[in-house]
Chains A and B, each alone.
Chain A
């Protein structure tokens, strides 16, 4: 059983399109995260939810909108995609917020043409 799963694994799309990435965790964790990893492997947190409540909202363009329908799911919707959005997006979860171990999904490689 996959602990943290993401769909799709690969996403290739044109500039200006709108796309979504879905994330699910079956670990019973309270906290979920979205990270962006650029081509140089630099990992930056974007958002975090704790029990469906947004607790971290970094300096991210408002074209990016997270949504947590329940504790086990955290989706990421991106409007008007730009070339610079090309990256690998990782979902992660942890038992609680803060310094608990984070469990990462396999990543979604987004390519904007």
Chain B
């Protein structure tokens, strides 16, 4: 079964500093990858997704992620974080285009003023 690992459960970072949130998935012939964000007391919303094509994916709010097949990773990056980026970030994976999406355990990003 497909699975997702987010090694960092909590990531504190100072405002305007860069951040990388790590995501690794179990190897598969094909894979579809997502990052969702959950702001406090809200539902999740899509940041970006990789279905095919360019391995560098740009999303909303200045986030981007790079699909690395050899390392089975899909790390999320932002060059300069804001206080408003404080949230829970979920990496997610699907094995086929019709498969269910499996969510990782989440990484809590705290931006320190």
Chain A interface residues toward B at CB < 8 A: 4, 40-45, 48, 56, 90, 92, 97-99, 101-107
Contacts and interface: CB of A to CB of B under 8 A. Distances in A.
20 contacts: A40-B105, A41-B88, A41-B105, A41-B106, A42-B103, A43-B106, A45-B101, A90-B43, A92-B43, A98-B94, A98-B99, A99-B32, A99-B49, A99-B51, A99-B97, A99-B98, A99-B101, A106-B41, A106-B42, A107-B41
B101 A90 contact: no
B51 to A, nearest CB: 6
A63 to B, nearest CB: 22
B90 A4 contact: no
A13 B7 CA distance: 36
A105 B105 contact: no
A101 B94 CA distance: 12
Given A41-B106, A98-B98, 13 more contacts: A41-B88, A42-B103, A43-B90, A43-B106, A45-B100, A48-B100, A90-B44, A92-B44, A97-B98, A99-B34, A99-B99, A103-B45, A107-B41
A61 to B, nearest CB: 19
Interface residues of B, number: 26
Interface string B12-36: 0000000000000000000010101
A57 to B, nearest CB: 11
A48 B38 CA distance: 21
Contacts of B56: none
B88 to A, nearest CB: 6
B46 interface: yes
B44 A98 contact: no
Nearest to A4: B43
Given A98-B94, A99-B49, A101-B49, A56 B100 contact: yes
A42 B106 contact: yes
A102 B105 contact: no
